[in-house]
Copies of this chain bind each other. A is one copy, B any other.
Amino acid sequence: MQKYSKQTRVLLAVDCIIFGFDGDELKILLIKRAFNPEKGNWSLMGGFVQTDESVDQAANRILKDLTGIEGVYLEQLYTFGDPHRDPTERTASVCHFALVDLNKYEAQLSNDYHAEWFPLKRFPKLIFDHNDMVEMAKKRIRYKAAFHPILFELLPDKFTLPQLQNLYESVYNTTIDKRNFSKRVLATGLLIKLTEKDKTGSKRGAFFYRLNTQNYYAKFQAFLNFIPNPDTLRY
């Protein structure tokens, strides 16, 4: 079959913003770019979409190749298409974000992949338009997490209510009444209380919970309330 003649072909890239939570603040995973231009500068995880590979597959492959991470929450965010965003050659980038349990990967990342976690509140200048991408991803997470249970993806399988509350307080840079918070999250029916306690955070210990995966998938797309006064939130 004949081709579309006289049209510009461009490079198609995928970039991924990987979010993690260390129990205290949100972090993003960055890597030192391995090739020119901007070799050695901090960058998001990125790569080119290969022949016979979908954008989706490319995002998962790049995540795996650059960090060893796979099977995590990954969502398409936005396509950045300024003609000069990469000075080398025209490249459109389909930006994604991922949410991972940071503790699960911490060791492997710095040893095997030379990737580093940086606090979302202070991280280096990134190559090209990657800072814009992070800004957009941050807004998207805050937007989506107000109504959908995506932040659980940042926690281990077993977690405590105080841990969960810390996470929400950190993402929204606010403090939440713990009585109201536990009522709200338990009312979603997404959590199962375990008999085991986490004794690392206090003498008394806090009960572990885990996700009810049935309900989690069933209600993922519903509008659940996770934060107070969501109507005052901007994105």
What does DSSP make chain A's interface, helix, strand, loop or mixed?
A: loop
The reply to whether B81 and A36 contact each other, CB–CB distance below 8 Å, is no
- The segment from A46-54, A111-119, A164-172, A202-210 that touches chain B is A46-54
Asked whether any CB of chain B lies closer than 8 Å to the CB of A61, the reply is: no
With A54-B82, A54-B83, A79-B55 already in contact, the answer to whether A12 and B223 are too (CB < 8 A) is no
Residues of B with C-beta under 8 A to A146 = 223
Residues of B with C-beta under 8 A to A225 = 231
Select A1's contact among B37, B55, B230, beta carbons within 8 Å.
B37
For residue A223, give the distance in angstroms from its CB to the closest CB of chain B: 5
Residues of B with C-beta under 8 A to A232 = 222
Select A88's contact among B2, B76, B89, B223, beta carbons within 8 Å.
B2
Asked whether any CB of chain B lies closer than 8 Å to the CB of A78, the reply is: yes
Asked whether any CB of chain B lies closer than 8 Å to the CB of A3, the reply is: yes
Residues of B with C-beta under 8 A to A8 = 11-12, 48-51
With A54-B81, A54-B82, A222-B232 already in contact, the answer to whether A10 and B7 are too (CB < 8 A) is no
Residues of B with C-beta under 8 A to A2 = 36, 88
The reply to whether A56 and B81 contact each other, CB–CB distance below 8 Å, is yes
Residues of B with C-beta under 8 A to A89 = 3-4
Select A234's contact among B9, B82, B222, beta carbons within 8 Å.
B222
Residues of B with C-beta under 8 A to A234 = 221-222
Of all chain B residues, the one with the shortest Cβ separation from A80 is B55
Alpha-carbon separation in the docked complex, A10 to B53 (Å): 12
Residues of B with C-beta under 8 A to A76 = 78-79
Residues of B with C-beta under 8 A to A81 = 12, 49, 54-56, 58, 94
The reply to whether B51 and A83 contact each other, CB–CB distance below 8 Å, is yes
Question: Using an 8 Å CB-CB cutoff, how does the interface string of A72-94 with B read, 1 for contact, 0 for none?
Answer: 00001011111100011111101
With A9-B9, A12-B92, A36-B2 already in contact, the answer to whether A83 and B52 are too (CB < 8 A) is yes
Provide a sorted-by-A list of 10 A–B residue pairs whose CB atoms are within 8 angstroms: A8-B12, A8-B49, A9-B9, A12-B81, A51-B83, A54-B81, A55-B80, A79-B94, A146-B223, A222-B234
